[in-house]
Structure 1
Amino acid sequence: MIAAPKYGFVVLAVPKSGSTALEAAFARHAQLVTSGPHSLKHVGAEGFERDIAPLLDQHGYARADYETCALVRDPVSWMSSWWRYRSRPGIVGTSTYTGDMSFDEFVGRVAAGEIELPSQSSYVNRADGTPGVDRLYRYEDLDECLAWLRACLGPKKARKTELRQRNVSPDRAHETSAATRDLVEQTYAADLALHRDVATGRLAGD
């Protein structure tokens, strides 16, 4: 999470949606950055409103002074990124390693509940399923999110926010069959609906 209420924004870090690269680009302008552990780096919308917003308010940043934003990704692309990320050599032999399984097997095991992979919507929605962030952008439209963040900073500071790839998943080619795509979309139906809503502009700010 990158909290820069001084400049009017907070970026909630949905896993595997470019959050590490955004942190590297904007952290210098933030009043609060949570890089770890996972529960802090990837605090969801409800956790932010419950725990972090009151803290910012105590330090002079009222909730009305800033907007929260997050990026969401096509569920198949998102799961592929997880599968590739968990195949990195540094975690061979651990329970999360996926280098010894195909993408189809990974998807099947996630769908069966054998591998836990919290949905993107669980990070950005409230418990009742409604959006819990002020602005949502598609991962594929990262440039739009960057343009808004840079506008918040102003032209002088925005010049120093070069975005570079960070925490990149290993390159690992695979074909996604129609059956596998269907299984992903059934398993993460809420994420698929969210991604499509953002694409139509229903939830993507102004």
Structure 2
Amino acid sequence: MLVFYEERLVLLSVPKTGTSAYQEALQTRADQAITNPPELKHAPLYRYNRWIRPMYERVCGVELEVAAVMREPISWLGSWYRFRQRPFMEGKANATHGISFDQFVRDYCKGQQPGYANVGSQAKFLETQKNGCHVTHLFRYEDQMTLQEFLEKRLDVTLSLQKRNVSPAMELSLSPDVEALYRRKKPEEFALYDSIS
């Protein structure tokens, strides 16, 4: 998570959406950079709303706009699946070795997810809060130029991004019946992604 006080902007770090590259490029420019531990670096909107937002509102008297990135839901699960295929993960509880992508997505759709499929929810991460706190600027992962142009203009910087925390390359396909299951069980993921203009 990065906070830019003068620009009244916070950039949330949604896992598997390329935000680590932006964090690295902008952390020295930010007024507050939360890069560790992962539970705080990847704090969802509800944690920002509970802990960070009140600090700026009460102490500084300002409301920050919130920017975030969302990845197409199937691609997002594919990135998690590949990320947990890295060689050093073999034998660990969260590894996806020996599990097909179809099985991974089926298990993600269960009420009780096995550890390897327990990767959270982008829709929950970005969910508008009861007090009205919401993501002001939501960008598609697949449209990096729009996000980059927004940040460059808003922060008056020129960005040079390096890929970080990249999942291994791997061809993945999801069978039509499993995709239909995913869309039926997690419609909020697709609805939020489709709402991004």
Q: Output the CA distance in 2 between the equivalents of 1:194 and 1:177.
A: 22
Alpha-carbon distance between aligned partners in 2 of 1:187 and 1:169, rounded to the nearest angstrom: 25
Give the helix-richer structure, 1 or 2.
Answer: 1
1:16-31 pair list within 5 angstroms: 16-31=16-31
- Equivalence for 1:46: 46
Equivalent residue, structure 2, for 1:78 = 76
Runs of 4+ in 1 over 6 A off after TM superposition: none
1:99 alignment partner in structure 2: 97
The offset of 1:58, in angstroms, is 5.9
**What is the aligned-residue identity percentage?**
29
Q: In structure 2, do the counterparts of structure 1 residues 131 and 7 end up closer, same or farther at CA, with 3 Å as the change threshold?
A: closer
In the TM superposition, 1:48-197 aligns within 5 A as 48-57=48-57, 60=60, 62-63=62-63, 66-112=64-110, 113-114=113-114, 115-126=117-128, 132-154=134-156, 158-159=157-158, 161-197=159-195
Is the partner of 1:68 in helix, strand or coil? strand
8 Å contact 1:69–1:136 — kept in the other structure? yes
Paired residues of 1:46 and 1:125 also in contact (CA < 8 A): yes
When normalised by structure 1's length, the TM-score is 0.86
Task: Kindly provide the amino acid, as one letter, of the partner of residue 155 in structure 2.
Answer: L
Contact kept, 8 Å, 1:125 with 1:131, in 2: the verdict is no
Shift of 1:164: 1.6
Could you tell me which runs of 5 or more consecutive residues in structure 1 were left unpaired when the two chains were aligned.
202-206
**Residue pair 1:75, 1:184 contacting (<8 A) in 2 also:** no
- Structure 2, unmatched stretches of 5+, are none
- Following TM superposition, by how much is the alpha carbon of 1:131 offset from its aligned partner in structure 2, in angstroms? 7.5
Q: Secondary structure at the match of 1:6?
A: coil
Shift of 1:187: 3.0
- Please list the CA deviations of residues 116-160 of structure 1 after superposition, one character each: whole Å capped at 9, or x if unmatched: 2211011111356x8721111111112111111111122xxx12x
Report the Cα distance in structure 2 between the residues aligned to 1:61 and 1:171, rounded to whole angstroms. 46
TM-score norm. by structure 2 comes to 0.89
Count of residue pairs brought into register by the alignment: 192
**Pairwise CA RMSD of aligned residues?**
1.9
SS of residue matched to 1:28: coil
